[in-house]
Amino acid sequence: MSDTKAPITIKKYANRRLYNTATSSYVTLDHLCQMVKDNDDFVVYDAKTGEDITRSVLTQIIVEEEGKGGQNLLPIPFLRQLIGFYGDSLGGLVPRYLEYSMQSFHRNEEQMRQYMQQALDGLFPFNPIEEMNRQNIALFESAIKMFTPFYNEASGEAGAPGDPRPSESALQEMQSRLTVMQQQLDELAKHKK
């Protein structure tokens, strides 16, 4: 038997109302946003067709959060690059890469929170936080370079014009950068202990 709970089922009706079948109550996008933050797994189905519309509802939550003002997590250049990958032959790699990057960032986030806690307790100066921030920025910049466009800085070689496939050396460069990023993450994990 598995210990994992089945995701909560949310039904979206034609009037755009969302119904939580676990609590037998109507919910809002703000409720679903809080469920995400609380790590409550859910799926959203169209009540009429039965179609899984979880992705579009989660996207709608992101759009609303970005529109609230205050904290914007998605920089415009990132959004432009992301849009550029739709329909691209490398588009299939992007979801896995973004998922991996967010998992890595989450691991670093926990470390940063620990440093902050220790700094506020007066145990450590803020230097570890600044260093962690620099490392996260370096990892993010490295990640962006991997996908813009496949260009090998060492050899000056790129894929042939009109050829959607990156050159072999560009793929090797991407693998090399991923390896370096993993080594940096492993190094950060060592410092965490």
Q: What is the residue-wise DSSP string for 15-76?
A: TS-EEETTTTEEE-HHHHHHHHHTT--EEEEETTT--B-HHHHHHHHHHHHHHTSS---S-H
Residue 1, domain member (yes or no): no
Give the Cα separation of 160 and 154 in Å (integer). Answer: 17
* 26: β partners: 19
Q: Are residues 48 and 105 in the same domain?
A: no
pLDDT bin (cut points 50, 70, 90) of residue 147 is low
Residue 47 domain boundaries:
8-67
Q: Domain for residue 3, yes or no?
A: no
Quote the tokens at residue 4: 């994992």
H-helix or E-strand spanning residue 27: strand 25-27
pTM given for the model = 0.56
In a domain, 29, yes or no: yes
Shared domain for 26 and 80, answered yes or no, is no
Q: What percent of the chain has pLDDT over 70?
A: 63
Is residue 156's pLDDT more than 50? no
Over residues 101-143, the pLDDT tens digits come to: 888 888 888 777 777 777 666 554 555 556 666 676 766 666 6
Cα 58 → chain centroid = 13
pLDDT digits (tens, 9 = 90+) for 64-80: 988 887 778 888 888 88
Q: Is residue 2 part of a domain?
A: no
List pLDDT tens digits, range 177-190.
767 777 776 676 66
Residues 52 and 140 in one domain: no
- Are residues 43 and 122 part of one domain? no
